[in-house]
Amino acid sequence: MAPVPTLISRAEALDRISRARGEAPCLMCAIVARGVGEVVAVYEDDEHLVSLPLYVRRWGHVLVTLKKHVTSYTEVDTELWARTNALALKTARAIEKARAPRRIYVASTGSSGGELVNCSEHLHVHVVPLYEKDDRPADVFSWQAGVYVGTSEELHQLRDQYLAAW
Ligand SMILES: [Zn+2]
């Protein structure tokens, strides 16, 4: 059976992340260190973690995270960032193969307001599959309408789909 993740409110998601994260100063560093909730990795090497975020607007969302704590494009090494984007491309291709979405957004977003509960300054790239004709960035990158959470089993099923397409 296809996974049917549960929709929870933005407030509930923020509360869960706050409790899981504790006092960790950087969300992305905490994820890389397995210090905040379950990390379901699709790929990992010395420089990057490619993983399934626990709270998503579109099921199938993947996160490509630099392991090093880097918060600006001035301080990131050019070759390293090229490898980050090569991994985002590989991820997008795996998503196309595994889930056949209508479109995939690839975006390095992050917080403009300092380190937030669910949004980090630490550089990372979102790879987000879209399944609806009328999906827009505002629908996908805002949590106002709630976020989906999968069970550990659903996340592992998704990871296995991506590994098969990797
Ligand atoms: Zn960090």
Give the burial string for 43-74 (b: 16+ CB within 10 Å, else e): beeeebbbbbbbbbbbbbbbbbbbbbebbeee
* pLDDT tens digits for range 12-38: 999 999 999 998 999 999 999 999 999
* Closest-CA residue to 111 (of 101, 121, 103, 102): 121
Percent of the chain scored above 90 by pLDDT? 89
The mean per-residue pLDDT over the stretch 91-105 comes to: 98
What residue spans define the domains of the chain? 6-165
pLDDT averaged over every residue in the chain: 94
pLDDT band for position 59 (50/70/90)?
Answer: very high
Tokens for 136, please give them.
């827009």
Give residues whose Cβ lies within 5 Å of ion ligand 1: 26, 28-29, 69, 122
The predicted structure's pLDDT at residue 64: 98
What is the identity of the amino acid at 8? Answer: I
- The more confidently predicted of residues 74 and 113 is 74
Kind and range of the H or E run holding 116: none
The predicted structure's pLDDT at residue 85: 98
CATH of domain 6-165: 3.30.428.10
* pLDDT tens digits for range 101-133: 999 999 999 888 888 888 899 999 999 999 999
Kind and range of the H or E run holding 48: strand 48-52
Its pTM stands at 0.95
Determine the distance separating the centroid of ligand 1 and the alpha carbon of 126, expressed in angstroms: 16
Determine the distance separating the centroid of ligand 1 and the alpha carbon of 125, expressed in angstroms: 13
Quickly tell me which residue has 């996160």 as its tokens.
Answer: 63
Determine the distance separating the centroid of ligand 1 and the alpha carbon of 23, expressed in angstroms: 13
Residues near 3 by beta carbon (within 8 Å), at least 6 away in sequence: 59, 150, 151, 154, 157, 158
Do residues 84 and 24 touch, judged by C-beta distance below 8 A? Answer: no
Kind of pairing, strands 48-52 and 40-44? antiparallel
Please determine, for residue 4, whether its predicted confidence score (pLDDT) is greater than 80: no
